[in-house]
Amino acid sequence: MTDQIVLEVGAEDGSLKLYRRRMLDGTFAFFTSLNAMGFEDIAGLQETSGFAASFQNAVALLDAAPGCDWTRLHPMSVHADYATSVLQLVETRLSGEREHLLDRWRQLCLAELVREVAEHLRRSPERLDDVRAKIPSSDGLYAWWVRRGAIASVPSRPHPTEPGFDLLYVGIAPARASSASTIRSRVLENHLGGNIAASTFRFTLAALLKDELHLVPLKKGKKTVLSSEQNSQLSTWQRANLRMTWHAAAKPWLFEAAVIAELKPPLNIDDNHDDAFRSTVKQARAALRRLASEQP
pLDDT band at 1 (very low <50, low <70, confident <90, very high): low
pLDDT-wise least confident of 31-35, 79-83, 159-163, 234-238 = 31-35
Residues 112 and 223 in one domain: no
Q: Mean pLDDT across the chain, nearest whole number?
A: 91
- Give the pLDDT of residue 68: 72
The angle subtended at Cα 265 by Cα 262 and Cα 269, nearest 5°, is 100
Asked if 140 and 264 sit in the same domain, the reply is: yes
The reported pLDDT for the residue numbered 10 is 87
Whether residue 215 sits in one domain with residue 86: no
Instruction: Verify that 104 and 177 share a domain, yes or no.
Output: no
- Per-residue pLDDT at 48: 73
Q: Which of 118, 145, 169 is the last residue of a domain?
A: 118
Residues 151 and 273 in one domain: yes
Q: Does residue 112 sit in the same domain as residue 219? A: no
Q: Which residues pair with 17 in a beta bridge?
A: 8, 33
Same structural domain, 93 and 129: no
**Structural domain containing residue 37:** 3-118
Residue ending a domain, among 70, 89, 118, is: 118
Q: What's the structural domain count of the chain?
A: 2
Same domain for 134 and 104, yes or no, is no
Digit-coded pLDDT (tens) for 94-127: 987 778 889 999 999 999 999 999 999 999 999 9
- Which pLDDT value is given to residue 98? 76
Q: What DSSP assignment string belongs to 222-263?
A: TEEE--HHHHHHHHHHHHHHEEEEEEE-SSGGGTHHHHHHHH
How far apart CA 96 and CA 101 sit, in angstroms, is 11
Q: In this structure, are 71 and 11 located in the same domain?
A: yes
Q: What is the pLDDT of residues 27-71, one digit of tens each?
A: 999 999 888 644 444 444 456 778 999 999 999 999 988 767 899
Is residue 45 located within the same domain as residue 168? no
Q: Are residues 265 and 138 in the same domain?
A: yes
- Top-confidence residue, 98 or 93: 93
| Average confidence (pLDDT) over 151-155 | 92
User: Which of 118, 142, 161 delimits the end of a domain?
Assistant: 118
Is the same domain home to 153 and 248? yes
